[in-house]
Every structure is written in C-alpha cells, then in structure tokens.
Amino acid sequence: MKLAIISDIHGNLEALSSVSASIEGQDVDRIVFVGDAVGYGADPVGVIEMVRSMADVAVVGNHDYVACGKEEPSYFNVYASRAIMWTRNRLSAADTDYLRSLDVMVLVGDLTIVHATPLNPLDWDYLYTVEQAAVNYEAFATGLCFIGHSHVPGVFCMDGEGRVSIGDTDSLRLEEGCRYIVNVGSVGQPRDRDPRSCYVIYDTEKRSVDFLRVEYDVPAAQEKIMRAGLPPQLATRLAIGV
C-alpha cells in the first residue's frame, strides 16, 4: 500500500493544488491529512473543500481547532491571531462542522496520526529534540507515528534498546525492530528555508518514507493574502520558507 501524507496547508490553495497534482502522479492508495487546513492563508474555504474530497484519514490541527471555535487563539502570535479571526468569519456552518468533526489522534493499522504530539495532543507542543521524542514514544504503541505542526520535516528513530536518534529525511528506509516519529513538513507554509511544498510518500511494502518537494505559484498565494488584507508578513514568509 502506498500512502501520501500531507499536513499544514494553512489556506494555501495554490500549494495544495500543486501537491495534489504531484500525488496524482504517485499512484497512491490513500491520502492522510495531519491537520491545519486553515489559518495564515487566504483560501480557507477552498482548502477545506479540497481536503474533504482528497483525504481518506484526517486529524485536526491547532489552527483548525481555533477556527471552528473549540478554543480561543490566546496563545497565538498577533499575525496568526488576526488570520484566524479573519478565517472564522469566512467559514460556512458546513466548513466549521467539518473541522469540529475531526479527531485529535487517529490510529490506522500500525500508524498513529496526530498534529502536534502523541503525548499531550491538545497542548499543541512542538517536537524538535531527541529528548522530547523519547517521552513521546511512551504515548503511542504503533511502529510509526506521523506528525506535523512545526512545518519542519524530520525523523526520529527508536531502536530495540529504546535509544532515540535523528533519522534521515532524504531516503528513509524503515528498519525491523525500530519505531519512528516522522514530521511530514508543511504543504502551505514550509519553515525549513525551502519555500517548496513538502509532503511524504510512505510505501508499506518497500518500507520507505520519502519526502517530496513541490514548487507552486508562490506569487499568486502572496497576492491573495495581500488583497485579503491579511498581515503582509504572512505573504513575505512564503517566498523564503520561514
């Protein structure tokens, strides 16, 4: 089975359209969405519509959670906060209901899917270090856990002895007896200084996890953000991938 795993689209329809075209060329069996359809970008409604038709499995992200009114943006920075209030005003009741219906954490076979961390998913913590990864391994039982949230692709491996290390994001091959936490990066607002959209293809037979980068029409997405009156910083960052 071949899976495409996408995350952190953040209202960027140009990015999602390019990634969708790329996925079509990959002959995948299932598409998994790891959260944050909305927030920051100017096309929340178009992105929700597309995610609903594409994704076979989906979890909620922290921006989705605030957009649908389950939480207030008290911990958001000023740009994120302004964008999420703008987003709330654009969603239909059906859009909001869809976001409200999403689970925080989903288990499918040997996969755990959660936006932030398996340990306390609703605390929306970031997972950057081996130490943070080590405590999170205790919170899920599957061989593989896909996360997003930081917008930075990354891999943690835990060997049979419980030692956790940083893994390879170029060509990851899953080893027998090891367990993995994979951050799939971001479709709509990459922050690893590569402005191209990022997503993952997981092949269960080859036991391979590949990170793909896709170019999209950045100027078009930027222009929509400016025209919507959203903070200009949300447009400029797309060109540099931060």
Q: Which residues bind Zn ion (CB under 5 A)?
A: 8, 36
Cα separation, 4 vs 31, whole angstroms = 5
CA distances from 194 to 98, 184, 207 (A): 31, 14, 26
Nearer to Zn ion, 115 or 179 (CB): 115
Tell me how far, at minimum, the Cβ of 176 lies from Zn ion, in Å. 33
Tell me how far, at minimum, the Cβ of 8 lies from Zn ion, in Å. 4
Residue 115 DSSP SS3: coil
Could you tell me what percentage of the chain is helix, strand and coil, using 3-state DSSP and rounding each to the nearest 5?
30, 20, 45
Nearer to Zn ion, 150 or 222 (CB): 150
Nearer to Zn ion, 148 or 167 (CB): 148
Phi, psi of 105 (to 5 degrees): -145, 135
Tell me how far, at minimum, the Cβ of 156 lies from Zn ion, in Å. 19
For tokens 């400029």, the residue is: 236
Nearer to Zn ion, 14 or 36 (CB): 36
Which residue, 224, 223, 220, 202, is CA-closest to 211?
202
Nearer to Zn ion, 36 or 192 (CB): 36
Tell me how far, at minimum, the Cβ of 63 lies from Zn ion, in Å. 6
Tell me how far, at minimum, the Cβ of 144 lies from Zn ion, in Å. 21
Task: Give 167-191 as a DSSP string.
Answer: --SSSEEPPTT-EEEEE---SSS--
